[in-house]
Amino acid sequence: MYDFKGKTALVTGAARGIGRAIALELARGGANLALNDVNEAAAKEAVELALQAGAAQAKFYPFDVADPAACNAAVDSVVQAFGGLHVLVNNAGISIDALLMRLKDEDWKKTLDINLTGAFNLMRAASRPMMKQRAGSIVNIASVVGEMGNAGQAAYSASKGALIALTKTVARELASRSVRVNAVAPGFIDTPMTQALPEATRTKLAEAIPLTRLGTPQDIADCVAWLASERASYVTGAVIRVNGGMYM
C-alpha cells in the first residue's frame, strides 16, 4: 500500500476493469479521488467502493475527454474542490477493430480523439496546477500493441504508439518542475472484454504469453500506484511493460 494522504488523483475510464482497479488502489492509500467515465451508473458505484476502500473523498466527474474545454473545466473543478491535483491517470480508451481496408474514417477519428487527444487534453490542463505546485505524477495507460502492433487494430495501435511518444515528450517538458510523466503498457488483461471471448481463444492467448496467463486489472493498478507514488520519484519518461513477457 502507498501513502496518498493529502493527494488528489483524477482517473479517467474509472468505472470498470483496469480503471476501477487503479481507483481502488489509490483509494487504499487514502487519496482524494476524482473519477471520470461515460458509464454513470458504474462510475457512481466505483465512487462508493473507493470510499469503502479508504479514499478520503471521492466524486464522479462526467465529462468527455475528447473535449478540450470540458477537460480544462474538469481540472479547474477538481483543483477547486480538493485544493490541488497531484496524480493524473489517463486510462479512458476505446478499441474499434477492423482491418485497414475496412476501417471507417469516423472510427479512426473517434479512436484517436479518445485514446490520444483525450490524454493530450488532460495532460495540458493538468500541467498548469502541477507545474505551479512543482509536483505531480501523470500515468498514461498505453498498450502492448502500441509497441508491437496487431492485425485488425490499426487505429488502436496507432493511438497507443503515439501516446507512448507523447508521454516521453511531455516528460522532458515538465521534468524541470518536478512533474513526472510515465506510461504503463498492459498486455492482454482479464477484463469483461476478454472474458467474452470463446474459451479456445482465451487459451490460445495465454499460450502466447511466457507467463502463461492473462494479466489482471490489479497487476496494472499496482504498477500505476507505484509510478504515482513518491517511491518512483526518480522515474520519468518510462514505459513499463506489464504483459507477462508477451513483448520484451
pLDDT tens string 124-134: 999 999 999 99
Asked if residue 194 belongs to a domain, the reply is yes
pLDDT tens string 104-123: 999 999 999 999 999 999 99
Distance of CA 216 to the CA centre of its chain: 15
CATH number where 221 lies: 3.40.50.720
Active site residues: 156
Asked if residue 204 belongs to a domain, the reply is yes
Asked if residue 2 belongs to a domain, the reply is no
Question: Average pLDDT over the chain, rounded to whole?
Answer: 97
50, 71, 65: which is closest to 159 by C-alpha? 65
pLDDT band at 197 (very low <50, low <70, confident <90, very high): confident
- pTM beyond cutoff 0.85: yes
From the CB of residue 78, how many other CB atoms can be counted at a distance below 10 Å?
25
Is the pLDDT reported for residue 201 higher than 90?
Answer: no
89, 71, 29: which is closest to 53 by C-alpha? 29
Is the pLDDT reported for residue 162 higher than 80?
Answer: yes
* Number of structural domains in the chain: 1
Asked if residue 203 belongs to a domain, the reply is yes
125 in Cβ contact with 45 (< 8 Å):
no
SS3 assignment, position 65 = coil
Burial label for 97, CB within 10 Å (0-12, 13-18, 19+), is middle
Q: Within 13 A of 202's CA, how many CA atoms are on the CB side?
A: 14
Asked if residue 247 belongs to a domain, the reply is no
pLDDT band at 69 (very low <50, low <70, confident <90, very high): very high
Is the pLDDT reported for residue 190 higher than 80?
Answer: yes
The domain in which residue 142 lies consists of 8-240
Asked if residue 64 belongs to a domain, the reply is yes
46 in Cβ contact with 35 (< 8 Å):
yes
Q: Distance (Å, rounded) from C-alpha 234 to C-alpha 138?
A: 13
Burial 209-240 (b: 16+ CB within 10 A, else e): beeeebbebebbbbbbbbbbbeebeeebeebb
| Residue whose C-alpha cell is 495501435 | 157
| Host H or E run for residue 139 | strand 136-141
pLDDT tens string 83-94: 999 999 999 999
